[in-house]
Amino acid sequence: EARDAGIEEIFFVTGRGKTVLLDHFDQSFELEQILKERGSENNLTLVKNVMSKPGQISSTRQQKPLGLGHAVWCARHFVANDPFAVLLADDLILSKPGCLKQMMDVYNKTGGNIVASEEVLPEHTNRYGILDVVEDDGVLVKAKGLVEKPEPDKAPSNLCIIGRYLLQPEVFDHLGKQEQGAGGEIQLTDALAKTVKKIPFHGLRFEGTRFDCGSKLGF
């Protein structure tokens, strides 16, 4: 999905016991040799296509689960002063073009910060970051703020943020303060909310099917 959007450099923020994730994107000599011997050219091509050029995939470890905002902050030196994307792997989105490609097309017109969004049941707003909407054309919304996991009676809308973001590096100025939010964690949405007055903020109703793999039904 990231490659489909034109992204070439990928940085994984992982935790303990996740080394197999990085090994997946490394060269597998034994597997390639077996596929060659079996004449399985199609599968051999698939395996080789997983590979990136040297230096295009790297990682760091988040030693403590201090929240999504903290995980993103761990990647600050890799991002430096460039706009960047955040993809949460437990949100699987099936779409053509990919969700991030759809967002990139919008970003090229609007700039600023963009998140993937979808409507949720009003009683489920306390599970997500929720947009405070000021303009809505049915596909793209402009927000004046966002609230992390509000109770239904306090939610500004039922339009939630899901695990795709296109962000400006200024968000690190706020993440660096390490302020705790909902659940005692450092929330990415809290940092984004503090940039809204200076940086345009939009939510995109993407085309595609999303599976929340953090839930039993989605998984």
How far is it, in rounded angstroms, from Cα 140 to Cα 204? 5
pLDDT over threshold 90, residue 185: no
Could you read off the pLDDT of 82-103 as tens digits, one per residue?
999 999 989 999 999 999 999 9
- pLDDT, mean of residues 43-51: 87
Q: How large a percentage of the chain has pLDDT more than 90?
A: 71
Amino acid at 48: K
Residue 130 three-state SS:
strand
Q: What is the pLDDT of residue 35?
A: 94
Q: What is the pLDDT of residue 101?
A: 97
Q: How large a percentage of the chain has pLDDT more than 70?
A: 100
Which segments within 112-218 are labelled E, that is strand? 113-119, 129-136, 140-148, 159-167, 201-205, 209-212
Confidence class for position 2, pLDDT limits 50, 70, 90 = very high
